[in-house]
Amino acid sequence: GAVVSQHPSRVICKSGTSVKIECRSLDFQATTMFWYRQFPKKSLMLMATSNEGSKATYEQGVEKDKFLINHASLTLSTLTVTSAHPEDSSFYICSAPGRNTEAFFGQGTRLTVV
């Protein structure tokens, strides 16, 4: 089946630094990818829709300057958490729509900002 690879799986960074998370569709093309954030013991919250070749669409309340999304190719979307702070610590997960009904999810990235 289709696979979405997300990297890194875990990252620890210092406050004020930026962190880039990659989401790759390995054996299919994805013109659209979705980025979610999951707080501890909470559900997944859709942050933004990444569109290949155009600007991402952000959900209400998500800071676009804080969470930079780039979808430069049909197989790669990146999420950069800029000037990270401890409150940005979370589990970030991407997904890409399949050909039919299924959304394929990456393994997720556990970000810890210290």
Partner 1 sequence: GEDVEQSLFLSVREGDSSVINCTYTDSSSTYLYWYKQEPGAGLQLLTYIFSNMDMKQDQRLTVLLNKKDKHLSLRIADTQTGDSAIYFCAESRGGGATNKLIFGTGTLLAVQP
Q: In whole angstroms, how close is the CB of 75 to partner 1 at the nearest point?
A: 17
Tell me how far CA of residue 53 lies from CA of 30, 32, 36, 43, 44, in angstroms: 11, 10, 20, 29, 26
Nearer to partner 1 by Cβ, of 54 and 101: the residue is: 101
Taking a C-beta distance cutoff of 8 angstroms, is the pair 33, 23 a contact? yes
Nearer to partner 1 by Cβ, of 13 and 91: the residue is: 91
* Residue given tokens 């393994």 in the structure block: 107
Binding site for partner 1 (CB under 8 A): 6, 32, 34, 36, 42-46, 49, 93, 95-98, 100-103, 105-108, 110
Q: In whole angstroms, how close is the CB of 81 to partner 1 at the nearest point?
A: 18
The SS3 call for residue 110 is: strand
Q: In whole angstroms, how close is the CB of 86 to partner 1 at the nearest point?
A: 20
Q: In whole angstroms, how close is the CB of 34 to partner 1 at the nearest point?
A: 6
Residue among 113, 83, 109 at smallest CA distance from 22: 109
Nearer to partner 1 by Cβ, of 45 and 82: the residue is: 45
Nearer to partner 1 by Cβ, of 2 and 68: the residue is: 2
| CA 114 – CA 36 distance, rounded (Å) | 21
